Structure 1
């Protein structure tokens, strides 16, 4: 598979939004149509101080964001999109004080909807902390509507 033209933008797309930057998301890799990002473990991202595990909301955000990156890889273009549906299944507790990696793949692309599967894990995707199934709507910018001039009739 050829390297997508969007590949050089993936590091910026992974961490360039205000929330992804604040959470510390970083680009890891692109392998074919599978994109990976990482969230480094930080004390302020812990959900329960007694366990030291990254909060579930951070995991959901990680899976949602890597899913969007997978759509852009599939499109080989940066286009506006929005999460239409996101289901996250938590399969086990994450390891305390450990970074999480997320990998996603867009497995079906239509004119208006992209379908993605993603996994969050510490070391290998075959031992996931969580798995996601999501759909993204591909939006297009619409020209601003101007009011019609009154005709005086």
Structure 2
């Protein structure tokens, strides 16, 4: 049985807004597409995420957080049940600076699943996927089945409380 992608959407939406102090909310990361084994995200430009005020270039750590999130949520789409997938290892290649005042898009995909590890990759770009500004390869834990049974119920209940049952 495969995880319900609607539940993944709800988990992503909840995590993006529920904790006002976390990096999803602080950076303004948004999930724009969810497919089996793939997630797409968008990071809007703001002065708050600039690493160099003289050039307006987005901080590399922000791009790293975007790619880690994109790979991790992609890994969640490959599961049998709703769960989180902790990062084991992540490599980021920063290929060039993001242009100031433009959003950054990321697309992550799962390319292999084993009993205990989910292998992912992602690219960050600004509208042209053939010209990435960064790329990532990440390995994520596939936790033992049943580990997140209570998580699913708690997450869906919190989602309904925040967004309403019909959201």
SS at structure 2 position matched to 1:81 = coil
> d(CA) in 2 for partners of 1:35 and 1:91?
21
SS at structure 2 position matched to 1:123 = coil
Structure 2: state its 5+ residue gaps.
149-167
TM-score by length of 1: 0.81
> d(CA) in 1 for partners of 2:84 and 2:33?
22
RMSD: 2.2
Structure 1: state its 5+ residue gaps.
143-153
Structure 1 stretch displaced more, 65-74 or 32-41: 32-41
Contact 1:6 1:77 (C-alpha < 8 Å) held by counterparts: no
Q: Which residue of 2 aligns with 1:38?
A: 42
TM-score by length of 2: 0.75
> d(CA) in 1 for partners of 2:110 and 2:101?
30
Q: Which residue of 1 aligns with 2:5?
A: 6
> d(CA) in 2 for partners of 1:86 and 1:94?
20
Q: Which has the larger radius of gyration?
A: 1
* Cα 1:76/1:59, change in 2 over 3 Å: farther
* Cα 1:14/1:128, change in 2 over 3 Å: farther
Q: Which residue of 2 aligns with 1:145?
A: none
Q: Which residue of 1 aligns with 2:130?
A: 126
2:120 maps to 1:116: yes
Q: Which has the higher helix share?
A: 2
Q: Which residue of 2 aligns with 1:95?
A: 99
> d(CA) in 1 for partners of 2:36 and 2:42?
18
Per-residue deviation, 1:128: 0.4
